[in-house]
Chains A and B, each alone.
Chain A
């Protein structure tokens, strides 16, 4: 990825004619690009890179976030404590389930739906598009409240429907197992529609000449899908996969905080919620920062691996 298109240089270095004011003009011209970059860059340095370094720093201290309490250096103690917490490993497992769920709702199901609906005329497609797009506009908090109501025990819509079929009613968000999958399904609801649209866009972008060639070669529909559609769609799919993995925490966090607060029994605590609780509920800043550092490193490795993959896969259809 990160395709660098050649940029045309339009601003040749200005030639100074007289030394005095020209020097100032030259300095100014030299500084010009940096001046344009300064506001955005300052924002990133202050609000992304500075805190990143500070998080590393905090991870070696014992501190409770109060300005009046001194920080006590504890070396690597936070890290060793972190790795001995059973809750951490539970959170890692839960994160795995959430990520798998988001890949299901954000990549696999959309691919299936996209393939099944490939032959619908663009005209009727626009009607569906208008509707299935809606959930992505609904805020995570509202998503959570609406689903809390739908899943409400004793009279909630989901239980009512299950009752029609004589199925047992469940307190979805209060049981460790169902709560986990309820969170996945709710996040899935939010991203499914727009993911289908992304796949559809990717499918529509595949040039007709490929299908023509496949037709001449006498390929059947399954072959066309496997040998033509899938490879040409792979950059889109990989991109969606990466976004599903990397943005999973942002997607899931508000739903967790509104609906389950990580419970019951920590069943819905993923690594980011774990971090949040240690930081802002128990105010164990050192431990939370050590966790943040570890997650950042793992996240970075995964992200870089994904970028590599995307680079390798994106040579199609150029």
Chain B
């Protein structure tokens, strides 16, 4: 649903091989073929002498960056403060301590929680990548009876909020005997309209000549998917994979309903600290920092891809 009328959807128009949005698209700056930097240069010459507004812009962005980054920095700083000194407001801790981490590890099974979270996030993202790839390929490749209706079925599922379906889904998971199991978290999330729509959009701009060539060579539909489509759809699949992994790593609501044991996933494990009579903020910040670290690690390595995946899909 998202993915459709955004202006930058145009970048997905037919592009010659290799099928990848131009690097500059990651700079979130669209350039039509042959247009060559005109937007940038023109708006610069047009606003020549707007130095003052540039300085104002920097001030705004510095403030915004402080607002967004400070809580995260504060979380990590606090996690390394000695437990008796948590509410110190100095930017640099007097002395560093890993006591909060020891407390966190003693209070909740961090290792198991992280392992479960990895299993869920990998299974959900791979599962959704596969089911959505197949479905998007079907829509792009075939014309068949009920095609439009089935597409509406996919779009329509966007209009159903999670909270509307959660009770019957909980009942079904419980009947299947999947309560308090990782399968209970994973199975209901193996297919999503979002993933199908996103990939379908990318496939719409897929160079037809490549598919045609494969057909002429007598390749089967199935083989074409894996030898032609998937290799050329790399960036799109990577973007979707990132979105799905981050989303399912951070998922809270559904595991909360179906896996209430202390060894569920990390997001629920963190919450355990808050139910205590007096909250141990040090251990809480340590656990929160640990839960966020893997995602930040991915971000450190794939920064541009991660930003572009989120900004393009409009997910927040």
Chain A contacts to B: CB under 8 angstroms: 1-3, 5, 7-11, 30, 32-34, 36-37, 39-44, 46-52, 54-55, 58, 65, 67, 106, 113, 116-122, 124, 126, 128-142, 145-150, 152, 155-157, 160, 189-198, 200-202, 204-209, 211-212, 214-215, 221, 232, 235-236, 239-240, 243-244, 246-247, 249-251, 253-254, 257-258, 272, 275-276, 279-280, 285, 288-289, 292-293, 295-296, 299-300, 303-304, 307, 310, 314, 317
Contact = CB atoms under 8 A, between A and B. Distances in A.
Given A47-B165, A137-B299, A211-B46, 9 more contacts: A48-B157, A50-B172, A52-B165, A54-B168, A118-B43, A132-B64, A189-B71, A246-B161, A280-B170
Contacts, number: 371
Nearest to A34: B144
B143 A9 contact: yes
A194 B161 CA distance: 23
A289 B46 CA distance: 57
Contacts of A204: 27-30, 39
25 contacts: A1-B1, A2-B4, A7-B204, A10-B141, A10-B215, A40-B154, A40-B196, A41-B153, A42-B191, A43-B131, A44-B153, A46-B188, A113-B61, A119-B53, A126-B27, A128-B62, A134-B296, A137-B299, A141-B267, A157-B89, A195-B316, A211-B43, A249-B163, A280-B170, A293-B164
Interface string B106-134: 00000000000000000000000011101
Interface of B: 1-2, 4-10, 27-30, 32, 35, 38-44, 46-47, 50, 53-54, 56-58, 60-62, 64-65, 67-69, 71-72, 74-75, 78, 87, 89, 130-132, 134-135, 137-144, 147, 150, 153-155, 157-172, 174-175, 188-193, 196, 204-205, 208, 211-212, 215, 221, 246, 249-250, 252-253, 256-257, 267-268, 270-271, 273-274, 279, 281, 284-285, 288, 291-292, 295-296, 299, 303, 306-307, 310-312, 314-316
A315 to B, nearest CB: 10
A281 B110 CA distance: 28
Contacts of B56: 116
Contacts of B50: 119
**Which of A134, A232, A279 gathers the greatest number of chain B CB atoms within 10 Å?**
A134
A10 B316 CA distance: 37
Mostly, the B contact residues are helix
Contacts of A202: 6-8
B296 to A, nearest CB: 7
